[in-house]
Amino acid sequence: MRYGHFDDQNREYVIETPETPLPWINYLGSESYFGLISNTAGGYSFYKDARLRRLTRYRYNNAPLDTGGRYIYLRDNDPNSARSWSPTWMPTRTPLDFYECRHGMGYTSIRSRLAGIESQTRYFVPLGENLEIWELTLTNQRDQPASLSVFSAIEFNLWDAMDDATNFQRNYSIGQVEVVDGVIYHKTEYRERRDHFAYFACSEKLAGFDTQRDDFLGSYRGWDSPKVVESGQSADSITHGWQPIGSHHVKVQLKAGEQKKIIFILGYHENSKDDKFDPPESQTINKRTVLPVISKYLLADQVEKAFEALRVHWLGLLDKYQVVTPDEHTNRMVNIWNAYQTMITFNMSRSASYFESGIGRGMGFRDSTQDLLGFVHLIPERARERILDLAATQLETGGAYHQYQPLTKRGNNDVGSGFNDDPLWLVLAVTAYVKETGDWSILNEQVPYDNKPGSEEALHGHLQRSIQYTLDRLGPHGLPLIGRADWNDCLNLNCFSDTPGQSFQTTTNKEGKVAESVFIAGLFVLAAKEMAGLCEKLEGKGEKQDHNFSLLTSHFYLEKAAKMESTIWQHGWDGDWFRRAYDDFSHVLGSKENDEGKIFIEPQGICVMAGLGVEDGRAQKAMNSVAEHLATPHGIVLQQPAFSKYYLHLGEISSYPPGYKENAGIFCHTNPWIMVSEAKLGNGDKAHDYYSRINPSAREEISDLHRCEPYIYAQMIAGKDAATHGEAKNSWLTGTAAWNYVAISQWILGVRPTYDGLQVAPVVPSAWKNFEVTRSYRGVRYVIQIERKGMGNEVQLEVDGKSINGNIIPLPVENKKEVHVRVTIN
Ligand code: BGC
Ligand code: NOJ
């Protein structure tokens, strides 16, 4: 069953009923000001950091679901009617005659009709601004005049979302606002150490306003039946403590057929410390600095311009990789939604979604480094900045903070470091960046360790230390020590926690000198080979590198990779698949010897991606084992058999009921590793089959089972051991976005950047006869037409009419803006 449909032309998903199985959401904002918005206008906004700088309140895990948002109420002032409703359905849930929500690239538009009054609200954040626009268009479709009241409503957050939700003895006394010329300014704590405030403005003359929640709602009422909306009269309340809100009241008379636009803007503004107040000795906000921006965006033509600029911006971004294949689900995900989701994960990491509260996690080190793999071609300059920010949270040991806070860009001490895979991902991010851009200068950027001034070293040195970090931490079998956990945050082999509430991620009750990870070993081989490739190029360029440390050679890395490979074959290979780990007792995990957890997906993917066994049939064996033991129609589960009870020596993985999350759920992030591996082995049908199983668009028809949004990936789909097999959870913020993008665009469609140019090596389904890729790369547009002539994967390339050797399109001469490539698959 579907709850909507794709509008590919407009790059939108159209939701046809407000009662989706879960709130189906979208994101607003591109750089600093962000918001989450559901299909019924639920959600909240923040500036840069969902924990430390939250603008509006939202209560997670609420009943009814998804209460709190960007609300508008309409009231029919005709004394015979006096009915009121929410044009976005929530929070009044009044049945509507018509409802439609369109989630698009950086905007959401909700249209509805009740009793002949049509309303459409378009929500978006203009590029480069710290504000959001709600553009409401009302149309009177009756043949009578209509007299309406419009009420807006948001609830302000007192900035620190954690404190806001817990510290009531203080919070009930600090709320402050100013209301001047119809603009509501939220200024809690502005009088002391904050130099920022929020504002909520409206384009119309007000009939009233409210800033005190109780006066608007009534003490014992909810957002579904505000007292003020019922009576049709605002209280003009000024909050002193308690719960500051913002509500405008506008009265509108519409002739039959008449239409009217009303604009609301909600924004964030900072003043310089010495210019906070006006007059300077007062406690009144200096508004001179913000008024120009407010008046600009209250004008309908400016709003239209800003919306058009956002549309063009996204067209340009998506245009960087476009494909036409025989499969509409592939086309739609590659051309629109998967690329879009990689941008969202780049912006949010794992901080704020409808499953991540925005309080618990900042920017993850391994998360953001992997997100970059799918994002880098969209806006390379921002990828560059992110790489340098991440590297600055590395420690001198080469290890890294597991997370950092986006507002401060400082490593998070609560979580700390010791996740031994973390630093290796940085190598993959940097090499992907250089292959995309050819910007070798990034390797010479001076970056501190732990953000400490004076500790700066060239980025290349950071990468060396990333590799050395693993080499310095090898266990009894010569495999890398796992530390707190590797990619699988829940495989906590040194934790041994028997105390409820202890964090699996930060509790370490064993020394950590024994438990080893085959996964990190595979990742190490992959990263070391990448370093070798990078160094080989640098050596070839013969450029003098001016560093205060000595550069290791490509030879060094190849040797280390080879040594690790042989260790994996010796201790990490189980005969039919790669093993997973050795625990604190040096017992194997992920082996035929185990009763539960015999085979895990992660080492199969990472080792084959690193090239192990590709030549000698063992990689194919591992893939056959994946197909036999782990694959389901809904995707590939993380491991089998699921852990049926809690194992002290394994940690959080066995804390989940079988079939959920890391305990044998379909942890989607890992599925593309198998797709890439199958592609590496030349199995195009298999690779694309796995791709389709978790492709959200291909699952649209089973939305009642899948339940999450059909336009973006979720972190997990319940596995075959779960009662709800096929049900997705934790949508949006997952490494699945970037990795699926890499798998489909670079390995299945096969167009991937290298240091020397674009490589074209498709491994596609045998039934595909033709397809076309357009890819912008280093300022050149490549139009690539691919035709299948034989049943293999061998390609022959003709570049601008001339056939070339190999499958890498040489970098074109300067000033050439477009290159045409004909590819035959033989
Ligand atoms: C989840 C993991 C996640 C970790 C982060 C665990 O509860 O299952 O997927 O990585 O928390 O702290
Ligand atoms: C989600 C975390 O964000 C990610 O870092 C981790 O690799 C996976 N969970 C698997 O545990």
Please answer whether residues 579 and 624 qualify as being in contact, where contact means their C-beta atoms are separated by less than 8 angstroms. Answer: no
Res 546: pLDDT? 65
Strand 581-582 and strand 516-517: the pairing is antiparallel
**H-only helix segments in 610-758:** 618-625, 671-680, 684-694, 703-706, 736-742
d(CA 279, CA 285): 9
d(CA 272, CA 338): 40
d(CA 272, CA 237): 29
Residue 547 in this model has a pLDDT that exceeds 80? no
pLDDT band at 718 (very low <50, low <70, confident <90, very high): very high
Tell me the per-residue pLDDT of 203-253, one tens digit each, with 9 for 90 and over: 999 999 999 999 999 999 999 999 999 999 999 999 999 999 999 999 999
For ligand 2, atom 7, the nearest C-alpha belongs to: 487
Please answer whether residues 776 and 722 qualify as being in contact, where contact means their C-beta atoms are separated by less than 8 angstroms. Answer: no
Q: Can you read off the two tokens belonging to residue 141?
A: 């479709």
Q: Can you read off the two tokens belonging to residue 541?
A: 């360029």
pLDDT band at 813 (very low <50, low <70, confident <90, very high): confident
CA of 661 to the centre of ligand 2 (A): 10
Whole-number average pLDDT of the chain: 97
pLDDT band at 550 (very low <50, low <70, confident <90, very high): confident
Range name among 154-158, 193-197, 507-511, 538-542 with the lowest pLDDT average: 538-542
d(CA 247, CA 662): 44
Residue 245 forms beta bridges with which residues?
A: 155
Is the full-model pTM beyond 0.85? yes
Residue 6 in this model has a pLDDT that exceeds 90? yes
Q: Can you read off the two tokens belonging to residue 719?
A: 């596995």
* SS3 state at 363: strand
Kindly list the catalytic residues.
Answer: 489
Res 327: pLDDT? 98
Residue 543 in this model has a pLDDT that exceeds 80? no
d(CA 16, CA 350): 29
Res 548: pLDDT? 75
For ligand 1, atom 9, the nearest C-alpha belongs to: 489
Under DSSP, the state recorded for 651 is: G
691-696 long-range contacts, CB within 8 A, separation 24+:
691/330, 691/740, 691/743, 691/744, 691/748, 692/327, 692/329, 693/632, 693/633, 693/634, 693/635, 693/636, 694/634, 694/635, 694/666, 694/668, 694/736, 694/740, 695/329, 695/330, 695/333, 695/740, 696/333, 696/337
Range name among 215-219, 538-542, 623-627 with the lowest pLDDT average: 538-542
Please answer whether residues 44 and 132 qualify as being in contact, where contact means their C-beta atoms are separated by less than 8 angstroms. Answer: no
Task: State mean pLDDT over 257-265.
Answer: 98
Q: Can you read off the two tokens belonging to residue 700?
A: 């649209």
- Which amino acid is residue 579, in one-letter code? R
Q: Pocket residues for ligand 2 (CB within 6 Å)?
A: 350, 364, 366-367, 487-490, 662
Tell me the per-residue pLDDT of 288-341, one tens digit each, with 9 for 90 and over: 999 999 999 999 999 999 999 999 999 999 999 999 999 999 999 999 999 999
Residue 268 forms beta bridges with which residues?
A: 198
Task: State mean pLDDT over 101-106.
Answer: 98
Q: Is 505 in the pocket of ligand 1 (CB under 6 A)?
A: yes
pLDDT band at 630 (very low <50, low <70, confident <90, very high): very high
Tell me the per-residue pLDDT of 383-410, one tens digit each, with 9 for 90 and over: 999 999 999 999 999 999 999 988 899 9
pLDDT band at 362 (very low <50, low <70, confident <90, very high): confident
CA of 97 to the centre of ligand 2 (A): 43
CA of 367 to the centre of ligand 2 (A): 7
CA of 717 to the centre of ligand 2 (A): 14
Q: Can you read off the two tokens belonging to residue 631?
A: 């694959």
Residue 545 in this model has a pLDDT that exceeds 90? no
CA of 710 to the centre of ligand 1 (A): 23
Question: Look-up: residue for tokens 């630093």?
Answer: 423
Tell me the per-residue pLDDT of 395-454, one tens digit each, with 9 for 90 and over: 999 999 999 988 899 999 999 999 999 999 999 999 999 999 999 999 999 999 999 999
Q: Is 662 in the pocket of ligand 1 (CB under 6 A)?
A: yes
Question: How many CA atoms, within 13 angstroms, populate the side-chain half-sphere of residue 155?
Answer: 20
Res 82: pLDDT? 82
Question: Look-up: residue for tokens 């001076």?
Answer: 446
Contacts of 802 (CB under 8 A, 6+ apart): none
- Which amino acid is residue 109, in one-letter code? S
Secondary structure element (H or E) that encloses residue 521, with its range: helix 518-541
Range name among 79-83, 177-181, 736-740, 770-774 with the lowest pLDDT average: 79-83
Residue 691 in this model has a pLDDT that exceeds 80? yes
> Which DSSP string do the residues of 150-179 spell out, in sequence order?
EEEEEEEEEE-HHHHHH-HHHHHHH-BEEE
* Ligand 2 atom closest to the CA of 489, numbered from 1: 11
Task: State mean pLDDT over 370-382.
Answer: 98
Ligand 1 binding pocket mutation candidate from 368, 414, 490 (most atoms within 8 A of CB)? 490
Strand 12-15 and strand 25-28: the pairing is unpaired
Task: State mean pLDDT over 672-680.
Answer: 99
Q: b/e map of 639-655 (b: 16 or more CB within 10 Å)?
A: bbebbeeeeebbbbbbb
* Ligand 2 atom closest to the CA of 667, numbered from 1: 10
Q: How many CB atoms lie within 10 A of CB 462?
A: 26
Res 670: pLDDT? 98
Torsions phi, psi for 624 (to 5 deg): -60, -35
Select from 371, 308, 264, 346 the least CA-distant residue to 127.
308
Res 538: pLDDT? 94
